[in-house]
């Protein structure tokens, strides 16, 4: 009955030391088949969006424990922007997790025990210089290898070439994370929704160079014309997750 443990039963707190999130515009008909029952794609024009979140996480622990007992780790997560309508008629925006990579064996074991996030143990390296934030992730089998460099200087960034967004006002609507994360529990045909609670949330646009993105080299994405739509960066943000809520689908 492992699925009973994976319902995000505990409230969680953490500090996000740094987070770089890239959002790729992908034709909607490519992403839709990756969604479980109950969720629909959150779109802009003919595109859906795949977000890659690169997060330095500190002091992650159950909310009732002191920060000193928390876990520090690096996370790279692949998520799809989605929508879900509750049984009460609320229309919620959130993310559907496709894959997660971490440099922590602890998070690999306990993250997979208590969530559906699919943690893989990977090698993750972060490098900082004045005005530059670089991340390299090496994954099992090279399936989600990633190498990216962001310009974090104060110089205003421009939207990536080819982005479907006309301006940053529209682009910010697809800057993760969103308030909710959705899991599908196939054993009970239910959606598990987890609400994030964030503070001091002012992500700023940055210019990035993506030297390698193996996830988008997969057959299903390779010839779709996926394009980098935006990139946002934040530092030192307190974050919390409420216990999951399960809702059986019709």
pLDDT reported for residue 5: 84
Show the CA angle centred on residue 207, arms to residues 204 and 211, nearest 5°: 135
Please check whether residue 94 is in contact with residue 82, taking contact to mean a CB–CB distance below 8 angstroms: yes
DSSP assignments along 160-195, one per residue:
PTT-S-SSHHHHGGG-SPPSEEEEEETTTTEEEEEE
Instruction: Give CA–CA dist 150/146, Å, rounded.
Output: 13
CATH number at residue 91: 2.40.400.10
| Burial environment of residue 92 by CB neighbours within 10 A (0 to 12, 13 to 18, 19 or more) | middle
pLDDT reported for residue 177: 66
Q: What is the largest CA-CA distance in the chain?
A: 53
As for how many domains the chain has, the answer is: 1
Regions of the chain with pLDDT less than 50: none
Tell me the residue range of the domain where 174 lies.
Answer: 2-248
pLDDT reported for residue 155: 78
pLDDT reported for residue 178: 80
Token pair listed for 210? 């993506």
Phi, psi for 140 (deg, rounded to 5): -55, 125
Cβ neighbours of residue 169 under 8 Å, at least 6 residues apart? none
Token pair listed for 222? 């390779």
């Amino acid at each position: 009955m492992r699925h009973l443990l994976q319902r995000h039963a505990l409230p969680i707190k953490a500090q996000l030391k740094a987070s770089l999130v890239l959002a790729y515009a992908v034709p909607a008909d490519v992403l839709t088949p990756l969604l479980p029952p109950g969720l629909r794609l959150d779109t802009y024009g003919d595109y859906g969006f795949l977000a890659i979140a690169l997060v330095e996480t500190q002091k992650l622990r159950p909310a009732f424990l002191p920060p000193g007992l928390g876990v520090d780790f690096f996370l790279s997560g692949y998520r799809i922007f989605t929508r879900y309508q509750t049984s009460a008629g609320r229309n919620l925006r959130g993310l559907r997790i496709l894959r997660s990579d971490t440099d922590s064996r602890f998070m690999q074991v306990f993250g997979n025990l208590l969530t559906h996030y699919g943690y893989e143990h990977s090698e993750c390296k972060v490098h900082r210089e004045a005005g530059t934030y670089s991340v390299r992730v090496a994954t099992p089998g090279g399936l989600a290898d990633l190498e990216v460099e962001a310009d974090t200087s104060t110089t205003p960034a421009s939207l990536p070439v080819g982005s479907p967004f006309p301006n940053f006002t529209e682009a910010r609507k697809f800057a993760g994370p969103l308030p909710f994360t959705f899991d599908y529990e196939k054993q009970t045909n239910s959606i598990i929704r987890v609400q994030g609670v964030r503070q001091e949330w002012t992500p700023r646009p940055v210019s990035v160079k993506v030297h390698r993105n193996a996830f988008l080299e997969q057959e299903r994405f390779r010839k779709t014309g996926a394009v980098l739509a935006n990139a946002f960066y934040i530092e030192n943000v307190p974050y919390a997750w409420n216990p999951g809520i399960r809702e059986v689908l019709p």
